[in-house]
Amino acid sequence: MTVTGHCLCGAVRYRIEGPMRPVIACHCEQCRRSSGHFVAATAAPRESVTIEGPVSWYQSSEVARRGFCGACGSNLFWDGPGPGISIMAGTLDQPTGLVLDGHIYVADKGDYYAITDGLPQAEQGSADIQRGSQRG
């Protein structure tokens, strides 16, 4: 499977060769502040992701950095510990074949919305929600 994506202005483009994790919605404070709402992201092994164009990286914590387009500001990647890199689902070209699989860090969610889709929720991060299986 090959999936492509890009930022709003097209300066940064990427290609993913191979499987991707189902989409997880992260409601942590950092994701909310970096995106303006919660983040919906998939992930893939780093070696299966090819990035073309000038990605700007912000070291958002001691263990993770966030990649974005320096021209248009599109939030593109979250790169933290482990073998994978997270990719913001909204920047993928359609069709993706992915599904939303659950919500993490719901204890930090904004007070202006409710999560009512019936999908699994974890107060913090959870390996149970990030089970890596596609549905649908």
SS (H, E, C) 37-67: CCEEEEEEEHHHEEEECCEEEEECCCCCEEE
Write the pLDDT tens digit of every residue in 108-129: 999 999 999 999 999 988 655 6
Domains of the chain: 2-108 (2.170.150.70)
Model pLDDT, residue 129: 65
Order of strands across the sheet that contains 2-6: 2-6, 13-17, 49-52
Model pLDDT, residue 134: 36
Contact 67, 56 (CB under 8 A): yes
Model pLDDT, residue 128: 54
Model pLDDT, residue 36: 94
Mean pLDDT for the stretch of residues 68-80: 97
Model pLDDT, residue 133: 38
Write the pLDDT tens digit of every residue in 103-113: 999 999 999 99
Question: pTM here?
Answer: 0.89
**Partners of 23 in the β-ladder:** 100
Candidates 11, 2, 16; CA nearest to 84 is 16
Does 76 have pLDDT greater than 90? yes
Write the pLDDT tens digit of every residue in 30-71: 999 999 999 999 999 999 999 999 999 999 999 999 999 999
